[in-house]
């Protein structure tokens, strides 16, 4: 876990009364939460809970039906380009183009984000994630762990204020996953940003996240410290609590959020 974030630290993400509907179906319903500087927040829930829809609205991929999103204090609806310039994203299901080398990929995305001193920035990230030896290797030829490290390097090119990580260690072996968790914790400590993290690995969430949000049917049902929430709700572990929220969401529907 990263050092506990200051409750008075600036907000890097503020989501207020967010809603997304498709016809008569609400994928996300009245969701409000925030991420502070240096904070790692876990966004948890079963498949179909609304996690991906929420992330896609924060990324500007989907337009909310109602509500507001502010990134680093910038309203996404009013100043989309400036807000999204402070954001980046990595996910195992969104691999980088496999026919481009590591260096070509990082240069391409660095130019999209108009990164100053791009070459030196790339070199620092190649060293940080121990992928310098792969700079001229096509991404499609890399192992899953190597591809994940390249994706994280890409996600840090613009020094984002808000970093979104969707299942960042899925399919990795335990040693590689542990290395990446340590690297991500260091990023949270060392930068001025915050991290929104989704995962189905409850051990990982408990180890990494300062705070978690449980979603079910598009609503946030529970929020708190992942090491304290299970006991507060009569569960032996975070995984047991996750299963209960997934199977019996009405038991946790307090109406708070």
Q: Extract long-range pairs of 142-145: CB within 8 Å, 24+ residues apart.
A: 142/102, 144/92, 144/171, 144/172, 145/172, 145/173, 145/176, 145/180
What per-residue confidence (pLDDT) applies to 179? 87
Residue 13 phi/psi, 5-degree rounding, is -145, 130
Q: For the chain, what's the residue count? A: 257
Supply the mean pLDDT for the chain: 91
Neighbours of 226 (CB within 10 A): 21
Q: How far apart are CA 54 and CA 68, in angstroms?
A: 12
Token pair in block for residue 38: 């240096």
Q: Confidence class of residue 5 from pLDDT cuts 50, 70 and 90?
A: low
pLDDT above 80: residue 2: no
As a whole-number percent, the residues of the chain with pLDDT over 90 amount to 74
Lowest pLDDT segment from 1-5, 107-111, 124-128, 170-174: 1-5
Residue 252 near residue 222, CB atoms below 8 Å: yes
Closest CA to 122 of 167, 98, 157: 157
Tell me, which fold does domain 9-86+161-257 have in CATH?
Rossmann fold (3.40.50)
Strand bridging mode 211-216 / 219-224: antiparallel
User: Domain map of the chain by residue range?
Assistant: 9-86+161-257, 91-159
Q: Convert the pLDDT of each residue in 18-33 to its tens digit.
A: 999 999 899 999 999 9
Question: For 93-117, what is the mean pLDDT?
Answer: 94
User: Hey, which bits of 37-86 come out as E strands?
Assistant: 40-44, 66-71, 74-75
Half-sphere exposure of 137 (CA within 13 A, CB side): 13
Residue 191 tokens read as: 């930068």
pTM metric for this prediction: 0.89
With beta carbons less than 8 A apart as the criterion, state whether 192 and 6 touch: no
Close Cβ partners of 16 (under 8 Å, ≥ 6 residues apart): 32, 67, 68, 69, 70
pLDDT interval class at 256 (50, 70, 90): very low
Which DSSP state fits 5? P
pLDDT in tens, 8-63: 678 999 999 999 999 989 999 999 999 999 999 999 999 889 999 999 999 999 99
Q: What is the average per-residue pLDDT within 68-80?
A: 96
* Alpha-carbon distance values, 132 to 106, 118, 126 (Å): 12, 15, 5
Please report, rounded to a whole number, the percentage of residues in the chain having pLDDT higher than 70. 95
Interatomic CA distance for residues 19 and 21, integer angstroms: 7
So what's the pLDDT on residue 122?
98
Beta-carbon contacts of residue 97 (< 8 Å; ≥ 6 apart): 105, 139
Mean pLDDT, range 140-146, rounded to an integer = 92
Residue 257: pLDDT band (50, 70, 90) is: very low
Residue 44 near residue 216, CB atoms below 8 Å: no
């Amino acid at each position: 876990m990263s050092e506990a974030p200051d409750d008075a630290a600036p907000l890097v993400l503020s989501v207020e009364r967010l809603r997304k509907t498709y016809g008569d179906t609400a994928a996300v319903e009245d969701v409000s939460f925030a991420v502070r500087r240096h904070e790692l927040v876990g966004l948890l829930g079963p498949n179909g809970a609304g996690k991906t829809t929420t992330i896609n609205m924060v990324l500007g991929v989907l337009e909310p039906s109602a509500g507001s999103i502010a990134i680093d204090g910038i309203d996404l609806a009013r100043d989309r380009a400036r807000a999204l310039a402070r954001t980046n994203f990595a996910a195992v299901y969104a691999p980088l183009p496999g026919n481009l080398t590591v260096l070509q990929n990082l240069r391409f995305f660095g130019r999209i984000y108009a990164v100053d001193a791009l070459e030196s920035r790339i070199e620092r990230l190649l060293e940080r994630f121990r992928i310098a030896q792969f700079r001229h290797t096509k991404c499609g030829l890399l192992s899953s762990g190597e591809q994940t490290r390249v994706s994280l390097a890409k996600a840090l090119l613009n020094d984002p204020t808000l970093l979104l990580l969707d299942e960042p260690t899925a399919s990795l072996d335990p040693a590689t996953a542990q290395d990446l968790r340590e690297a991500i914790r260091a990023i949270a400590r060392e930068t001025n940003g915050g991290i929104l993290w989704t995962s189905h690995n409850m051990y990982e969430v408990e180890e990494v996240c300062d705070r978690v949000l449980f979603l079910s049917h598009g609503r946030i049902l529970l929020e708190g410290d992942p090491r304290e929430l299970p006991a507060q709700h009569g569960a032996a572990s975070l995984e047991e609590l996750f299963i209960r929220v997934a199977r019996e969401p009405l038991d946790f529907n307090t109406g708070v959020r």
